[in-house]
């Protein structure tokens, strides 16, 4: 099955700095890669996602890059703010459009702390 | 986005009792729902895939007789934790795949504490 590794486990930055979180995956059949932000006791919130037919996607201060050959993808947050502090999870899902789509394998999570 | 309702949000029960958790899609039909479990400070782990009108598919290591899943309609899936024990204490959360555009939406989660 799929295995997703996420690094770092904790990340501390100063407000205004950039934050980068990296993930690798093992299953070449995975072709959908979402990133979630989760606050304590709450549901994961989708912040950005990317499909394997593109290499980069950006939404304001958040961007995701995908290297399908190397099987890794990264989350980039620029101009970080204290309210960005949360746990971030990457995930991978196989076969968008297929019956297995939606079965997410999550990374271990990154605790991001943005200091004012 | 779609609305996925999950109840209860928090439950405390005695060891040996059974607990039912509901996951309901409020504004769309969901042919497939997924159940995840998240222990404190850990990641979300897929437990099972729930398909409307058929038996759930369980991930390796998940006991199907302990975690009963019923997906009797296109808007409701239930997870019953039978004979709960303290080690079952966890955050249980469902996600729903829409039939139309394949977007995924999470329920609000259920914090189960077994005493």
For the segment A23-38, what is each residue's pLDDT rounded down to a tens digit?
999 999 898 899 999 9
Cβ B43–A106 below 8 Å, yes or no? Answer: yes
Cβ B45–A106 below 8 Å, yes or no? Answer: yes
Q: Which residues of A39-58 are buried (b: 16+ CB within 10 A; e: fewer)?
A: eeeebbebbbbbebeeeeee
Q: Is B49 an interface residue toward A (CB < 8 Å)?
A: yes
Cβ A44–B32 below 8 Å, yes or no? Answer: no
Is the Cβ–Cβ distance between B114 and B89 less than 8 Å?
A: yes
DSSP conformation letters of B59-81: PTT--TTTEEEEEEETTEEEEEE
Please name which of A52, A104, A43, A30 lies closest in space to residue B32, comparing C-alpha atoms: A104
Cβ B43–A41 below 8 Å, yes or no? Answer: no
pLDDT at B7: 96
pLDDT at B52: 82
Contacts of B61 (CB under 8 A, 6+ apart): none
**Mutation target vs B (from A102, A105, A106; most B CBs, 10 A cutoff):** A102
A-chain residues within 8 Å CB-CB of B97? Answer: 101-102
Q: Is B104 an interface residue toward A (CB < 8 Å)?
A: yes
Cβ A44–B46 below 8 Å, yes or no? Answer: no
pLDDT band at B43 (very low <50, low <70, confident <90, very high): very high
Q: What is the DSSP letter of A107?
A: -
Q: Give the phi and the psi of residue A46 in degrees, each rounded to 5.
A: -65, 125
Is the Cβ–Cβ distance between A19 and A77 less than 8 Å?
A: yes
Please state, in angstroms and rounded to a whole number, the distance separating the CA atoms of residues A22 and B13.
39
pLDDT band at A73 (very low <50, low <70, confident <90, very high): very high
Cβ A43–B42 below 8 Å, yes or no? Answer: no
pLDDT band at B20 (very low <50, low <70, confident <90, very high): very high
pLDDT at B29: 81
Cβ A109–B42 below 8 Å, yes or no? Answer: yes
pLDDT surpassing 80 at residue A100: no
User: Nearest Cβ partner of B46 from A44, A46, A103?
Assistant: A103
Please state, in angstroms and rounded to a whole number, the distance separating the CA atoms of residues B107 and B7.
9
Is the Cβ–Cβ distance between B21 and B4 less than 8 Å?
A: no
User: Nearest Cβ partner of A107 from B43, B49, B109?
Assistant: B43
The C-alpha R_g of chain B, in whole angstroms, comes to 13
User: Coil, strand, or helix at residue B86?
Assistant: helix
pLDDT at B24: 93
**Mutation target vs B (from A10, A103, A105, A109; most B CBs, 10 A cutoff):** A103
Sheet strands side by side (includes A4-7): A4-7, A19-25, A72-77, A62-67, A56-59
pLDDT band at B32 (very low <50, low <70, confident <90, very high): confident
Q: pLDDT digit string (tens) for A76-90? A: 999 999 999 999 999
């Amino acid at each position: 099955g799929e295995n997703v590794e996420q690094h770092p486990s904790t990340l501390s930055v100063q407000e205004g700095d950039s934050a980068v979180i990296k993930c690798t995956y093992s299953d070449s059949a995975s072709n959908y890669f979402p990133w979630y932000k989760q606050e304590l006791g709450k549901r994961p919130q989708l912040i950005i996602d990317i499909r394997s037919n593109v290499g980069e996607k950006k939404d304001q201060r958040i961007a995701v890059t995908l290297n399908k050959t190397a099987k890794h993808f990264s989350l980039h947050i620029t101009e970080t703010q204290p309210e960005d502090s949360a746990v971030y999870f990457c995930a991978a899902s196989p076969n968008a459009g297929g019956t297995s789509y939606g079965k997410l394998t999550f990374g271990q999570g990154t605790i991001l702390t943005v200091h004012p | 986005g779609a609305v996925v309702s999950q109840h209860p949000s928090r439950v405390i029960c005695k060891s040996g009792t059974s607990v039912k958790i509901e996951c309901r899609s409020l504004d769309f039909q969901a042919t497939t729902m997924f159940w995840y479990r998240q222990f404190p400070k850990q990641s979300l782990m897929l437990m099972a895939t729930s398909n409307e009108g058929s038996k759930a598919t369980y991930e390796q290591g998940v006991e199907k007789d302990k975690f009963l899943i019923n997906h009797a309609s296109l808007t409701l899936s239930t997870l019953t934790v039978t004979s709960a024990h303290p080690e079952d204490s966890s955050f249980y959360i469902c996600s729903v795949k829409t039939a139309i555009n394949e977007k995924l939406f999470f329920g609000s989660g259920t914090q189960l504490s077994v005493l």
